[in-house]
Every structure is written in structure tokens, then in C-alpha cells.
């Protein structure tokens, strides 16, 4: 394992076909049939294209490991699965820094367990799932705290433990510096909406022109997972920056009610994607020597809502699209001293 070199062979290719948005190809540009069959099953379960891409990237890591090790995907055992999970956490990620984050390794283990479970039921894979569940020890929930939700059940045997960290909150001073570095009205409007609504980045990027109601200061988003439409209140500043952006692109992009709200700034004008918005935001953070992400804006909104004495926590949860009951983010944000802890964590992430 120490001398294993995993080349970046193959890739996950976007097809533009709604029936098969992504396909995994090998080094010879041939489609990997087992992955194609699995992604079709995932799509049949109603999962979004973003989920298909996420699952495809996890499977790409696994198949690259198999190709470099000379393994056949349908002949691997628990031993090779354990080696792959070790490789993920130690030396899997290309470039400096070594292994992947525990959350990435945990997601990859879950996807591979489901992948082999699918082929096990179909009779097209190994007879035993190489990514099994953890061995049961005693009665589940025997020492359950009634104040906490019940666990989902047994986790994967090779699933790493995820550290419980306080959500990263961007301090007000650094947020002001970051906002001042934004280079366009579009970027300022996006950040203002993200930090005032608490919406996910993909939810806001999927809005259309007709989803904006400046008179009521509301913007309608489609929630991730449930696909439900929900109106969210936003700050007046966000609508001011949005109006300035619309005046800037007026006559250059389609303005119909069903047209996308966010566009690229360069010709040819295209709908702004998540990765383009992420690169815009990380580029500004790098100019300040920080590594804030778009999801940190959602956590910042959660902290501000939890600290607002005029906003009940139930309303804050509904604005962020959380399920009924206090989420882990709510419990961490509402405790005294959490904002200071998040600011200390933020200072620690400055390069």
C-alpha cells in the first residue's frame, strides 16, 4: 500500500443526456457498464443530477484504485475494501495534503456499499458485499439519550468516525472585507442573498426571474431533497444589489419570468453553475488568505438567525429548510460561546 501509485485514469463524463447525465469511462474512453447500470437505478429512485455526479465521483475513486491494483471489481473481498478505505484516509487525494477528509471517505464507503448491494441483488457482482455493515453489539439504542434523536442503525464497518465540530461562522469583520472584494453586482447580490436567507448555494442558483418578489422582499427557491417550493425572506440590501445587477445585464440576457436569474458575466452568456459560483467565492477568499466556502455562508446565516432575539428558532429552521426538531446546527449555534468558538476556528483557517 505504501508504494501504490494510483494514476488519474478514466473520468466521469457529462453527457448532456437527461436519461444518463453522467457516465464513468475507463482509460480507453469505454463506458464502465456496472456503474452505468447502478446510476440508472439511482436515477429511477428520484435522485437529482447532482446526486448522480456525487455518486459517480465516489465510484471513480474506487475504480481507479482497482485499475492501479490490478483488481477486478466483481472479485474483490473485504481485505481489498479495507485497503481502499485506508488509502482514502492516508494518501488518496492527489496533490499536497494527503488523504481525503473523513466526510468524503464516509460518503464514499456508503456509496460503494450501496453499489455492491445493488449488484448483489441483481446477481451481477460478488456473492458477498465487500463493504459490510458493522457488527452488532448488544441491543440498538440501549443507552439512548431521550434528548437526542435515535441513530439510523448500524453504520458501515469501514466508515470513519466524523468529528463533531462547531459550524464555521464568518466573523463580521472578515465578512465585510470579503464583501468589499467582490467584483460585480451579481456577486454582491448572491452573497447578500446567501447570508440573509440561509438557502443552500444550489437552491439559490436555481431560481428564475419570476421567483423574485421585491415588494414583499421574498425569493422562492426549490428545496434540495424534497423539491418543495418555499418563499424565503431576504435583506433589503440583497434586493438592491439584485436590481443593480439586472440593470447591468438588461437587454443582454433573456428576461422572461421562467428564465434563469443568474448568468455568467462573459459572453456567451450562460446560466451560472454551482462550480462557477464556488470558484468566484473561493477566489475572493484566497485574495484575503482564507478558505471560506459557500456552505460557510449558510452557517453564518444560521448563527445570525439563532442570535437574533426577534426570530424564533422554529422560523429560523424553516428558513433553512430543516426538518422538524432542533438540528445539530441549531443546538451548536444557540449555545453560549459558540459564536466565539466559531470565530476562533475561523481565525485558525486563515492561511
Distance CA 28, CA 22 (A): 17
| 187 and 71 belong to one structural domain | no
* Predicted local confidence at residue 90, as pLDDT: 87
Mean pLDDT of 63-72: 95
- pLDDT grade for 328, boundaries at 50, 70 and 90: low
Residues 187-232 pLDDT 10s = 999 999 999 999 999 999 999 999 999 999 999 999 987 889 999 9
| 196 and 258 belong to one structural domain | yes
Percent of the chain whose pLDDT exceeds 70: 86
Residue 146 lies in a domain: no
Beta carbons within 8 Å of 197's beta carbon, 6+ residues apart: 204, 219, 221, 232, 233, 234, 238, 301, 319
Residue 131 lies in a domain: no
* Predicted local confidence at residue 63, as pLDDT: 97
Q: What would the grid cell of residue 176 be? A: 465585510
| 233 and 106 belong to one structural domain | no
Most confident of 44-48, 176-180, 223-227, 342-346: 176-180
Residues 2-34 pLDDT 10s = 678 889 999 999 999 999 999 999 999 999 999
| 221 and 322 belong to one structural domain | yes
| 326 and 195 belong to one structural domain | yes
| 112 and 23 belong to one structural domain | yes
Residue 226's nearest CA partner among 347, 78, 46, 51 is: 46
Beta carbons within 8 Å of 299's beta carbon, 6+ residues apart: 167, 168, 169, 329, 342
* Predicted local confidence at residue 272, as pLDDT: 96
| 109 and 211 belong to one structural domain | no
Q: Side-chain half-sphere of 306: how many Cα atoms within 13 Å?
A: 24
- pLDDT grade for 342, boundaries at 50, 70 and 90: very low
Higher pLDDT: 322 or 218? It is 218
Residue 110 lies in a domain: yes
| 65 and 178 belong to one structural domain | no
65 pLDDT higher than 60:
yes
Mean pLDDT of 330-342: 50
Residue 80 lies in a domain: yes
Residue 142 lies in a domain: no
**Alpha-carbon torsion angle 280, 245, 237, 313, nearest 10:** -60
Q: How long a stretch of residues is the chain?
A: 351
Mean pLDDT of the chain: 87
| 185 and 305 belong to one structural domain | yes
- pLDDT grade for 348, boundaries at 50, 70 and 90: very low
Distance CA 267, CA 253 (A): 10
Distance CA 64, CA 80 (A): 13
CATH number for the domain harbouring residue 240: 1.10.443.10
Residue 133 lies in a domain: no
Mean pLDDT of 58-79: 95
325 pLDDT higher than 80:
no
Residue 299's nearest CA partner among 207, 199, 192 is: 199
| 83 and 17 belong to one structural domain | yes
Mean pLDDT of 107-115: 96
178 pLDDT higher than 80:
yes
Distance CA 240, CA 232 (A): 16
Higher pLDDT: 140 or 251? It is 251
Lowest mean pLDDT among 97-101, 209-213, 333-337: 333-337
> How many structural domains is the chain composed of?
2
Distance CA 122, CA 53 (A): 23
* Predicted local confidence at residue 323, as pLDDT: 61
Single residue among 94, 122, 150 that ends a domain in this structure: 122
Stated pTM of the model: 0.77
Distance CA 350, CA 70 (A): 41
Mean pLDDT of 310-328: 70
Most confident of 41-45, 102-106, 334-338: 41-45
Residues 157-166 pLDDT 10s = 889 888 877 7
Residue 140 lies in a domain: no
Residues 115-153 pLDDT 10s = 999 999 999 999 999 999 887 655 666 677 787 776 666
Residue 162 lies in a domain: no
- Domain of 222 in residue numbering reads as 172-348
* Predicted local confidence at residue 351, as pLDDT: 44
Q: What is the DSSP string of 191-232?
A: HHHHHHH---HHHHHT-BGGGEETTTTEEEEEPTTT--EEEE
| 192 and 328 belong to one structural domain | yes
Single residue among 82, 99, 122 that ends a domain in this structure: 122
* Predicted local confidence at residue 108, as pLDDT: 96
The per-residue b/e assignment along 200-212, b for 16 or more CB within 10 angstroms, e otherwise, is bbbbbbbbeeebb
| 97 and 181 belong to one structural domain | no
Amino acid at each position: 500500500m505504501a508504494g501504490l501509485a494510483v494514476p488519474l485514469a478514466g473520468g466521469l463524463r457529462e453527457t448532456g443526456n437527461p436519461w444518463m447525465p453522467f457516465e464513468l469511462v475507463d482509460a480507453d474512453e469505454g463506458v464502465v457498464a456496472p456503474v452505468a447500470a447502478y446510476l440508472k437505478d439511482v436515477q429511477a429512485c428520484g435522485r437529482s443530477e447532482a446526486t448522480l455526479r456525487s455518486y459517480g465521483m465516489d465510484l471513480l475513486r474506487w475504480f481507479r484504485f482497482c485499475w492501479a491494483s490490478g483488481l477486478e471489481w466483481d472479485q474483490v473481498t473485504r481485505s481489498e475494501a479495507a485497503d481502499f478505505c485506508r488509502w482514502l484516509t492516508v494518501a488518496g487525494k492527489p496533490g499536497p495534503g494527503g488523504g481525503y477528509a473523513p466526510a468524503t471517505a464516509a460518503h464514499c464507503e456508503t456509496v460503494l456499499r450501496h453499489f455492491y448491494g445493488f449488484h448483489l441483488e441483481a446477481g451481477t457482482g460478488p456473492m458477498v458485499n465487500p463493504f459490510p455493515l458493522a457488527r452488532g453489539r448488544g441491543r440498538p439504542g440501549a443507552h439512548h439519550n431521550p434528548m437526542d434523536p435515535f441513530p439510523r442503525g448500524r453504520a458501515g464497518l469501514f466508515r470513519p468516525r466524523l468529528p463533531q465540530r462547531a459550524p464555521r461562522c464568518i466573523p463580521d469583520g472578515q465578512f465585510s472585507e470579503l464583501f468589499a472584494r467582490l467584483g460585480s453586482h451579481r456577486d454582491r447580490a448572491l452573497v447578500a442573498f446567501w447570508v440573509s436567507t440561509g438557502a443552500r448555494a444550489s437552491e439559490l442558483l436555481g431560481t428564475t426571474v419570476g421567483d423574485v418578489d421585491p415588494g414583499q422582499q421574498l425569493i422562492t427557491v426549490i428545496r434540495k431533497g424534497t423539491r418543495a417550493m418555499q418563499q424565503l425572506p431576504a435583506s433589503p440590501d440583497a434586493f438592491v444589489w439584485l436590481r443593480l445587477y439586472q440593470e447591468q445585464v438588461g437587454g443582454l440576457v433573456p428576461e422572461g419570468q421562467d428564465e434563469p436569474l443568474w448568468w455568467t458575466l462573459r459572453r456567451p452568456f450562460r446560466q451560472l453553475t454551482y462550480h462557477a459560483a464556488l470558484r468566484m467565492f473561493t477566489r475572493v477568499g484566497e485574495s484575503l488568505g482564507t478558505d471560506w466556502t459557500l456552505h460557510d455562508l449558510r452557517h453564518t446565516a444560521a448563527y445570525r438567525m439563532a442570535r437574533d432575539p426577534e426570530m424564533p428558532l422554529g422560523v429560523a429552521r424553516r428558513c433553512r429548510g430543516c426538518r422538524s426538531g432542533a438540528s445539530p446546527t441549531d443546538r451548536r449555534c444557540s449555545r453560549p460561546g459558540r459564536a466565539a468558538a466559531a470565530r476562533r476556528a475561523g481565525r485558525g483557517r486563515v492561511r
